[in-house]
Structure formats: C-alpha cells, structure tokens
Amino acid sequence: MSQFFPALLSISFSSLSIVMHIGVIGAGIVGLASAYQLLRAGHEVTVIDASRDGGLGTSFANGGQLSYGYVSPLAAPGVLSQLPSLLLSSTGPLRIKPSLDPDFWRWSLEFVKHCNARANASSTLRLLSLGLHSREVMLEFLAQESGTFDYRLSGKLVVYRDAGKLAAAERSLEMANGLGYTQRRVDAATCVSLEPALSKIAGELAGGIHTPGEGTGDCQMLCRELMRLIGAHERGTLLFEREVTGFDVRGNTVQAIRTRAGDIPVDACVVANGLAAVPLLRGVGESVSMYPLKGYSLTYRGAPVDARPQVSVTDADNKVVYASLGEHLRVAGIADLVGYDYRIVKHRIDALRTLSTGLFPSLRGTPEPLEWTGMRPSTPHGRPVLGRADKVGNLWLNVGHGALGFTLSMGAARAIADAIDGKRPAVDLAGFARLAA
C-alpha cells in the first residue's frame, strides 16, 4: 500500500498484489487522466512527453464541453451526399482538402465505409456507453479532489434551424434516454428561456435538444491539476522534453521506452499521445488509422456577463460551440480535413469571430480574443482505440478520441487501468478495438 501526504494529495489507493512501473506516453488530457487512474490503482507511473509542459496540444483550448450524451460520430449517412460541396467550398463548417498522403486515402476510404445508418448507430451506442461511464468517473474525481478547472454543471443545448436535422437528432436522443440519461427536444421558445442570448436568433430556430447532465470546464486547467496531483505523489513522475523514439521490445514485451535522452525501463506502457502514436506504433507492427481533424477556437478573456451563456450552447448548423469558462467565453468549431497544417487560417478564424459577435454583440468592445487551432486525432468511425496492442502484450492503446478527448478521458482512463489490472472494465473494450466493426 502506497504512503502519501494527505495535505498534498487526496488520491486514495487500492491494494494490489502486483505493483508495476507503467510508462504513459503523452501529457494531454488523455495521457494525464490515464496516469491519474493508474496511480489510484496503486502503480508507479512515469508520464513522458516531448513538449515542455502538459496540455499544450489538442487539450489547450478545445471547446470546453463535457458532452457525454451528444457523441454521434462525423461518419453519418448524410455526409456522402455533401461531399461535392465539401470538396469545393472553403467556407463551410466542414472542409476537405484531398492530399497525396496515403494515410489520407486509407482514412477516407474507411470513413466512407462507416457513413451508413447501421455503422453510425453502432458507434453512437458504444460512445454513449463510454461517455456515461466517463461522466461517472469525472463526478467521482470532482468529489475526491479539491482542485478547480472552472467546472460547471451547465447543461447543454444544441439548437437547430433545420427541422429535418432536429428530427434526426431527436431519434438519436432515444439511445441516451434508453441508457437512463435524460435528453429532451425543446421548442424555440424553450431554447430562449434556457439561454436568453438566443433571443436574437429565435425566429430562425426550429428548436433544440437539451441535456441537463452535461458540463463545461477548462481542459488545459484540468491538465495542470492532474499534473499537480501526479507530481505530488511519490510514485508519480513527469518527464517533459523527452521525445519518444520507439520501444525496446523483447519476446513480444516492452522492456523499455526509448527516448532521445535514454531508455526508461517499464513493466507496461500506455500510448496516449494522439496523432504522434501513428508512427510510433508502426515501429512495433501496430497499425492505427488516425488523421487530423483541424479545429479552431477563440477565447474571450474577461467576457461581459451577457456574453457568457448560462448553458453550454452548440449551434448545430454552423458546428460551433459556446462555453462559459469562469470569466471567459470559449468559442470553438470548424472541422478541416487538410492534413498536418498547423497554421491559423485567417478566414476560418474570422468566421468564428463573426458568429460569436453576431450572437453576443457586447464582445465587439472587448480585447482581441486568443486565437487557437488544434488537431483532433480522429479515427474513421469516430470511436477511440482502447485496449491491448495486438502484437506486444504489455503495450496498451488509449488514442483516437477526436473531438471527444476531454469528454471521454476519465472513462477511457479508468477502463484501461481496470484492464491492465485484469479487472472487467465497466465498458466493453471489444467495441473499441482497432478493427472493431
């Protein structure tokens, strides 16, 4: 049983017959949540990341929504009919730029295979199961730990201008309700009563879907809190500016994680470094299909009170989300399938600015917002890849969460920690295997 100082850390540990030294590659929200859950299980954990600090990649300025019940993947029946316009338009909420990269074509062909009702429903149900488990684990974390990341049980309101799209969304909510998670269709007037700022566009709205159990929070702040908890414990180690170059594998077992600063011996390893996992896993014969889905965000620091929505709002037509984070407003959205292009494209970020100031006019008099772009590590079917690697027995995967990394991080981390310990996870990992249909 590990000894620790309650004044510094409130992680409680369960006893284990075998304590392992587990390396976690990646210090974004997924990797840090994995490390936290493994520490709770009683293991020694070393987090390794190439960056100078944690939470500086996709976790840095994401949408801020903990959207447990609204997880339907991008691969859906209607997407294929939109492909001509997506390929030709540079201004829509989803933009596709074909590439000569073989990974783009492999990913795209697999994506097309999942753009049907059966595959979408299957993925949605699996993601709902993981999302609701993640909500339970997050609420447990909030009850146990004293740190803050501007979390708020705000509820989520997804608004629609198109009645047909609203009807399709209503069919999806039946899955969540069937799992005991409340979602309801509301009319335009109720949308405005839930969020008065929507009164400016009330005449345009067909209605919305309201989910009272959703929350908001600052993902990067949570990363910092997890680093504090991990670093304060005698069995937790954080190693930054350590680029992982591969693995020392002998007899189908990882003996050590190789970095440019030397090898780190481990008993097991969790790969949780998003897109960087693709070439790393290829080095040991593991193939994972992920491709970057580029998103943008604006953070209005010190936003006026009337520009901080009471509920988390998603504009379904424009694929933009609005979340109040303390005194700030986070506006995020857009999906660009344009390869590994990390530049902030002016007309894309300007589109977010126009939408946000249109809905919240008082933002026009505030200081310029923080502009950001991030690469969501997306799988073709929209589900993360969770579980043991195929060819290396003590190598575990926790990658490919796409736009749901913040939402799914705690549940995925708990499921992986349970599986490593030989326990049955609350979520069936067979549905998140690399080749799951």
Per-residue confidence at 174, pLDDT binned at 50, 70, 90?
confident
Q: What is the mean pLDDT of the chain?
A: 92
Contact 208/158 with Cβ under 8 angstroms?
yes
Residue in the block written with tokens 């992680």: 11
DSSP codes of every residue in 265-293: E-SEEEE--GGGHHHHHHTTT-----EEE
Per-residue confidence at 87, pLDDT binned at 50, 70, 90?
low
> Is a pLDDT exceeding 80 seen at residue 28?
yes
Lookup: tokens for 244: 């992982």
Phi, psi of 27 (to 5 degrees): -120, 35
Contact 200/356 with Cβ under 8 angstroms?
no
Q: What's residue 103's pLDDT?
A: 93
Least confident piece of the model among 69-83, 143-157, 234-248, 257-271: 69-83
Least confident piece of the model among 92-96, 97-101, 208-212, 312-316: 92-96
CA 23 to chain centre: 21
Residue 416's closest CA among 402, 395, 435?
Answer: 395
- Chain segment 286-310, per-residue pLDDT in tens: 999 999 999 999 999 999 999 999 9
- Chain segment 335-356, per-residue pLDDT in tens: 999 999 999 999 999 999 999 9
Specify burial of residue 279 (Cβ count, 10 A radius: 0-12, 13-18, 19+): exposed
DSSP 434: T
Half-sphere exposure for 374 (CA within 13 Å, toward CB): 24
d(CA 59, CA 416): 20
- Classified as helix, coil or strand, 35 is helix
Start-to-end CA distance of the chain, whole Å, equals 41
> Beta partners for 236?
45
| Alpha carbon separation from 328 to 323, 344, 422 (Å, rounded) | 8, 21, 42
> Is a pLDDT exceeding 60 seen at residue 400?
yes
CA torsion sign for 324, 330, 333, 339 is: negative
Domains, the chain, in order of start with CATH, read 21-155+213-432 (3.50.50.60)
Contact 240/24 with Cβ under 8 angstroms?
no
> Beta partners for 157?
210, 313
In the chain, % helix, strand, coil (3-state, to 5) comes to 40, 25, 40
Q: What's residue 171's pLDDT?
A: 79
Residue 45's closest CA among 204, 268, 205, 198?
Answer: 268
Q: Using alpha carbons only, how large is the chain's radius of gyration in Å?
A: 21
Contact 156/310 with Cβ under 8 angstroms?
no
> Is a pLDDT exceeding 70 seen at residue 80?
yes
- Chain segment 137-167, per-residue pLDDT in tens: 999 999 999 888 999 999 999 999 999 989 9
Q: What's residue 94's pLDDT?
A: 85
d(CA 301, CA 309): 14
Q: What's residue 4's pLDDT?
A: 35
Average pLDDT on 129-137 reads: 97
Lookup: tokens for 108: 């795209």
Per-residue confidence at 93, pLDDT binned at 50, 70, 90?
confident
CA torsion sign for 412, 417, 421, 423 is: negative
- Classified as helix, coil or strand, 118 is helix
Least confident piece of the model among 85-89, 105-109, 140-144: 85-89
d(CA 120, CA 410): 23
Average pLDDT on 26-34 reads: 98
